[in-house]
Chains A and B, each alone.
Chain A
Amino acid sequence: MRKISKPCGFHCVKIKDIGVSFGDQVILENINLHIHCGQLLAIIGRNGAGKSTLIKAILDDIPHTGTVEFKDVEDGKIQKIKIGYVPQTLNIEENSPMDVYDLICSFRFGHPIFMKSKKIYAEIKEALEEFEAGDLIDKQVGRLSGGELQRVLLSMAVMDNPNLLLLDEPVSGIDKNGMDLFYEKMEYLKHNYDMSIVVVSHDLDYVAKYADQVVLIDKEVMAEGTVKEVYNSPEFKNVFGNTQFDISTSSNSTHIYDVDSAKRHVHRRVVEEEQTPFEAGYKGRKEQE
């Protein structure tokens, strides 16, 4: 596995003019994003804003306009991009006869999964160990917890040394510890691999804490910039409530990451007038760190 100590900062991924429409219905238009290696960009937006559609367009899974370019800034060369993708869920039943070895082997190796290869087994185990998932290799994929599955998928995505890591953060099945571990791993990747990271996130607290850049989308880019810039923008308040978003209070509350509570979470911010303005909360948090 090619691992470097630091991202070089000279590679960038340019997402140019992405547009998606089904028939007359425009889902996304004029999406332009620009990400450097070693950076984490978070995509946020209300339900149905087109976040997952954007991921699918970047992956070239659905018909779209626009391009994804991978460029070496130093010499200006455009290279072929390698994308690592971590989906929200897998289509696997609980008793599916597939262990983690089978899962990774079928995506990453040509050796048929009905015959075991010791060499590949060792390679997969090594990749899993980087994400504290080495013990899971013989476990059935359908019986993994949400956090375990995410670590497995992450090791699989990173194995191939992608230039761009795309993550669709799951909205359910991961507890707070799992989320913390997940974002700590993102930090680790940012500093130890030469790649750009794009996360579609449903949790504004984690975005505030870990993202270098934030993009708020709703059919098009509504606001972009640093966490501070976006969270203070009128567009952000339009989507997530007119009240000030307070990080320090909300991050102390209990999180259950399912869709409904995520909605309630956002909804509560709208209904309850929180006392501390976002700005103060954000600064307070920074000072704590």
Chain B
Amino acid sequence: MAGYFSEIFRYDFMIRAFVAILVITPLFGMLGTMIVHRKMAYFSDALGHSALTGIAIGVVCGIADTSLSMVIFAVVFAFLLNQINRKRLVATDTLISVFASCSTAIGLAILSFGGNFSKYSALLVGDILSITSREIIYLMVIFVGTLVFWFLAINKLNAISVNPTLAKSTNISVRVIEDVFAIIIALVVTLSIKWIGILLINALLILPAASARNISMNMREYHGYAIIFSVFSGVIGLVMSYFNNVATGPMIVIIASVIYFATYIYGRKRR
């Protein structure tokens, strides 16, 4: 085993990927708990898809760093979705689907203009091995920011999900908390999409939390298991992808899915 690891860490790109996994996965595990709890799985999925449009807008406007336009677009998108959602005129899932398909289509249309899409197809599955040290530092900053938000707002987020009227009556600023949470999801999703990939990012957000939900009785267990499952799938997925020569993102998601089914069966037996 030690031999395996020393082989992996001979390469700088593997060390960086490993560090990146250790930053991204606990963050995803943590955020996932409240995304699943608040039934926002569709929402985070739509945010992932909006990344395409963000990049397309960047390309059209001639911005050198398309990550910037992607982040800005996702934040605006998240904020808008929240606003429209509050009016409660349309079912949330329908609304999010409409937004997501619309923005994906616009993104694809612009990016495929002149047959150039292959340049961007790496975005779909992501490549964690290409991460730079500087990008890892960005991720760490986001991680710390999210952690601070989590300590301050987790109770309020939970309260709002239980009953918004009751939450409001205890002086919780429902709108602010909801908006900040949506923006944090937007930031985390867009900043890690290059490495995880549009197709898989939501799986990595949802699966660890959903697995933890299968076997948890309270919030302590829920958070603990979600983070453990997330880090475990990340590390094992990275190592396995190295030895089997497959893309890292899909490998991580396969392992997270196996954990989901295992916890599902275990959870059912226990009840």
Give A residues with C-beta under 8 Å from B.
56, 59-61, 83, 85, 87, 89-92, 95-99, 101-103, 105-116, 138, 140, 160
Contact = CB atoms under 8 A, between A and B. Distances in A.
Given A97-B222, A110-B155, A113-B154, A56 B165 contact: yes
A107 B165 contact: no
Nearest 5 CB-CB pairings of A with B: A97-B216, A97-B222, A106-B155, A114-B223, A106-B158
B250 to A, nearest CB: 28
Contacts of B158: 98, 102, 106, 113
A51 B165 CA distance: 15
A61 B156 CA distance: 16
B155 A59 contact: no
B178 to A, nearest CB: 14
Given A91-B163, A113-B219, A96 B37 contact: yes
Contacts of B220: 113-116
Given A106-B158, A113-B154, A113-B158, A87 B218 contact: no
Interface in B33-52: 37
B163 A90 contact: yes
Nearest to B168: A61
Given A85-B165, A87-B166, A106 B217 contact: no
A108 B220 CA distance: 17
Given A97-B218, A98-B219, A106 B165 contact: no
B159 interface: yes
Majority SS of interface residues in chain A? loop
Question: Main SS of the interface on chain B?
Answer: helix
A95 B158 CA distance: 15
Interface string B159-195: 1011111111110000000000000000000000000
A203 B221 CA distance: 40
A107 B167 contact: yes
Contacts of B151: 112
B79 interface: no
B100 interface: no
Contacts of A140: 217-218
A114 B150 CA distance: 10
A92 B162 contact: yes
Interface string B138-151: 00000000000011
Contacts of A96: 37, 213
Contacts of A92: 162
Interface residues of B, number: 31
A177 B131 CA distance: 63
Contacts of A98: 158, 162, 218-219
A61 B169 contact: yes
12 contacts: A59-B165, A60-B169, A87-B165, A92-B162, A95-B214, A97-B218, A98-B218, A99-B218, A102-B218, A107-B159, A107-B162, A112-B154
A80 to B, nearest CB: 11
Interface in B216-240: 216-224
Contacts of A103: 162
Given A56-B165, A91-B161, A97 B213 contact: yes
B212 interface: yes
A219 B219 CA distance: 42
B88 to A, nearest CB: 12
Contacts of B162: 90-92, 98, 103, 106-107
A97 B155 CA distance: 14
Contact of A106 (B159, B221, B223, B224): B159
A107 B217 contact: no
B150 A112 contact: yes
B165 A61 contact: yes
Contacts of A59: 165, 168-169
A100 to B, nearest CB: 9
A95 B213 contact: yes
Contacts of B221: 97
Interface string B61-75: 000000000000000
B170 A97 contact: no
